[in-house]
């Protein structure tokens, strides 16, 4: 569904998305990395279990909630990727972390 522009930088780093090592462009957000490498939902809702995916990409809609480096409920559109980052789709309500 999404693809990089052909003149985009060749520089890459590796992140782990749902357990799979993928190559992404430095400066990408976790949400952009998910959209580029997954098709379909990146989380499910707590009540109905309906699938959602990043929408606004600017911190407003919260449809990009995901688990990043073991921390649930992270807004993926506001987190810049780093080498080795572990990004997982979030299923339902992971609860509130103290």
Residues forming a β-bridge with 51: 44
Tokens 């052909």 found at: 6
Interacting span for ligand FES (CB under 6 A) from 16-24, 44-52, 60-68, 81-89: 60-68
Among the listed residues 42, 74, 75, 88, the single contact to ligand FES using CB under 6 A? 75
Query: Pairing state of beta strands 51-52 and 65-68?
Result: unpaired
Q: Of 36, 37, 46, 62, which one interacts with ligand FES (CB under 6 A)?
A: 62
CB of 30 to ligand FES, least distance (A): 10
Q: Which of 17, 30, 31, 33 binds ligand FES (CB under 6 A)?
A: 31
Q: What is the DSSP letter of 32?
A: H
Tokens of residue 67, six digits? 């688990």
């Amino acid at each position: 569904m999404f693809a990089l522009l052909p003149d985009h930088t060749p520089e890459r780093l590796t992140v782990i998305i749902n357990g799979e090592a993928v190559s992404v462009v430095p400066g990408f957000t976790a949400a952009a990395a998910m959209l580029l490498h997954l098709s379909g939902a990146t989380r499910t809702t707590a009540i109905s279990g309906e699938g959602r995916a990043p929408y606004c990409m600017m911190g407003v809609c919260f449809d990009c909630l995901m688990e990043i480096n073991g921390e649930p409920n992270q807004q993926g559109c506001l987190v810049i990727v780093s080498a080795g980052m572990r990004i997982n789709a979030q299923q339902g309500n992971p609860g509130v972390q103290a």
